[in-house]
Amino acid sequence: MTTAVTAPWRAGSAPDGTPVHRWVLERAGTRVAVLDYGGILQSVEVPDRDGVRADVVLGFDDVAGYVDCPSPYFGALIGRYANRIAGGTFTLDGRTYRLPRNNGTNCLHGGERGFDKRVWDAEPAADGHGVRLSLVSPDGEEGFPGRLAVSATYALDAAGALRIEYRAVTDAPTVVNLTNHSYWNLGGAGSGRAGGHRLRIAAGHVTPLDGDSVPTGPPAPVAGTRFDFREPREVGSGYDHNFVLDQGTSGAPGTSVAAELYDPVSGRVLTVTTTEPGIQLYTGDAFDAGPFGPCEGIALETQHFPDSPNRPDFPSTVLRPGEEFRSVTTYGFKTADDRT
């Protein structure tokens, strides 16, 4: 079956009145809706073990829901810098840059008006299997240096897996860290808490954090701690942490499963592969947004590590003129037959 890419239709307006459009992709049993506002992954519909379809990401039926939501970034494309930059400041090539402090004393997810609050240009992907979003972030936007040209292509492959490819180029040295911030509930959005899902993460280390969720030192082993998800177990709650993926040091990046999430009730399984070195597990303990309460969705944000611009010992997030940032994450869907 070829991918059905539905012509975009008007889905609402951004706060400044700019029209917002919804794109729908469908292939091999997966149906995906993407908004050009915030690059938001509005819905992902997949069948359970009995063939019953449900939307497995948290979100809203209309654009106003996202605009009015008090900021858990439902389904959004995050940039320029996903996660936190400590103190809202970093130094690059001897120059210090000051950013908005929109998370206590830290800069979170690109600042006050990150990519999640922009209307992106949208067009069918060149291969006909998805939608390509693009924007230009001018030099100095939210304090970040360089004119950054960004694209994100959402596409479905022949098996119905969702592939997101991010690209960026700059005209001056800068830092870049892009991700998608969907909350997954494989029982279906609105079905209740997702803490009973079983999770495996291919990570032998986690970055230790202080009370402001900023790394305090080098990655620490997960063995013998509550961060050990190397074997599948219930997610529970109380997580907003970056896991250091083992695939970053063994094997070709993106060729092995970085994480696998399983809902025993519905039988749905989500697999995540990525070229990124880390994955942020966030169980949404604190948010209460619209119809969704704490722990009703699990975020698995593939990205570089928090505060990397201030940590030369972490994988670099620096992008320079003449280079291209490229990152690929794929979300695969299947079902399991056991009814445990």
Distance CA 34, CA 42 (A): 5
Q: Specify the 3-state DSSP secondary structure of 310.
A: helix
Check 260, 296, 301, 304 and give the catalytic one.
301
Structure tokens at 28: 């091999």
Tokens linked to 50: 């009995």
Q: How far is CA 29 from CA 53, 124, 260, 295, in A?
A: 9, 20, 19, 27
- Is the distance from CB of 315 to CB of 306 less than 8 angstroms? no
Element (H, E) at 259: strand 259-262
Active-site residue, 197 included: no
Q: Which residues contact 253 (CB under 8 A, 6 or more apart)?
A: 247, 274, 275, 276, 277
The gap from C-alpha 54 to its chain's centroid, in whole angstroms, comes to 20
Catalytic (active site) residue 301: yes
Give the list of residues 6+ apart from residue 154 with CB closer than 8 angstroms, or none. Answer: 23, 25, 32, 34, 41, 125, 130, 131, 133, 162, 163, 164
Q: How big is the CA angle at 320 (ends 112 and 299), to the nearest 5 degrees?
A: 45
> Which of 21, 129, 181, 197 is flagged as catalytic?
181
HSE-up of residue 218 (Cα within 13 Å, Cβ side): 4
Residues 6+ apart with CB under 8 A from 312: none
Catalytic residues: 181, 301
